[in-house]
Amino acid sequence: MTKPSSSSPSYRQSIAGCLSGAIGENGLSEAELGSWLEKLAPALHDLKADYASGRLPLLKISEETADLDAAEAALAKLSEGAETIVFFGTGGSGLGGQTLAQFGGWGLPGVSCCADGGKARPRTRFYDNLDPLTLSAGLARLELDKTRFVVTSKSGGTTETIAQLLATLSAVKAAGLESRIPQMFLGITEPDKPGKSNGLRALLGSLGIPMLEHHTGIGGRFSCLTNVGLLPALARGLDARKIRAGAQEVIDSLVSASFPAAFAPAIGAATAVGLSKERGIRTLVMMPYNDRLGRFSEWYVQLWAESLGKGGEGTSPIPALGPLDQHSQLQLFMDGPREIAVTVVRVASAGEGALLDAEMAKLAGQSFLGGKTIGDVVDAQSHAIAEALTQAGRPVRTFDMQKLDERAIGALLMHFMIETILAGRLLNLDPFDQPAVELAKTLTRERLAR
């Protein structure tokens, strides 16, 4: 008998809503889940060996501190006299940082510019998608002398990011600020490697622009806990060490787990793959009920899709946000094809926020709102959707966090990275490459060269 719930100190996962005991024939039986967990035993053993040997650097990153010292020093220097810090980086070089920055309040209407009690700090902006009008309009509106730029590309050859940098350097020169370029820019890219060119490093070096070293063993969608993701977190006033401490909680659980059913990411991986193979689930929805986790859904989509969509394998991830998407996508999740499983992420919110006036609620025809807080409403909705999906016989997994703080977001990120790795090993594929994406990059370069 396997347990439907598992946890780390920062969250509690329940897969009860994915089992046949809760949703009938559309769920996995205990025996089926147990079989997939048993198949994960060798992968869990290998993952623990990867940690012990250091063969998989992701599993050791939460123990490192030297790179944080360097990032904090570089950010402090870059921020001198700055009102805005712009981050250039696409895909994994952008979404991880955006996820942590949004947890720190970035991109939320009406939220203060900082996350640490009102201390003034530069605004943060992200340009991850390349669009000529957006970039031109953005550069035209920036007060360039008060703006700083962080440029991230692991390989140093990301076409979109290099294009953004070239356009920005030209704008800075046109504004008469060429002499200040070394103080206005910071790069994050791999160190020089024999026999391998790094265009970004060569360009930045020629201009005297300082650089932080991108971790050579952790790239793209898995880099959110390196300086790539943590520099934006620091820019928002977050404690990067606490973020890594939360990630370490999951690593500690990995080390202590003697079998897959005792490790939350393994339970998640076995459930996702089992539902796909046994019940034809083709779509996985990530639906947090918290504005600060909106970009987390987007990050998850890249992580799962790019890691597992290979050789005819994989399931399609969809980002959602509650309660907003109860008024759009929920109809499909509840009543569309029976190939959708939903993960609901809940942050305890009961009793939080504005108190709703009872008399006015009655006049509005919704007396049940009287005396409740906004947090009460969201709490009720986030639990009701899981119950509704269960009653409709739709697979639903829940994550519950008592508090959304740095430790919790770090644990959540590490959970899903390890869950994805284990799912890849269960499917006998490499979760770290992206061969199909490389073809599009090559064809883009060839077309531009012509």
Read off the tokens for 92.
């994994």
Residue 61 and residue 256: Cα distance in Å, rounded?
18
Contact by Cβ (8 Å): 226, 57 = no
Read off the tokens for 432.
């770290």
Residue 151, beta-bridge partner list: 88, 187
Read off the tokens for 64.
């490192």
Contacts of 238 (CB under 8 A, 6+ apart): 100, 103, 104, 115, 116, 406
Give the active site residues. Answer: 306, 327, 441
Contact by Cβ (8 Å): 295, 307 = no
Residue 371 CA to its chain's centroid (Å): 36
Q: Considering just the CA atoms, what is the radius of gyration of the chain in Å?
A: 23
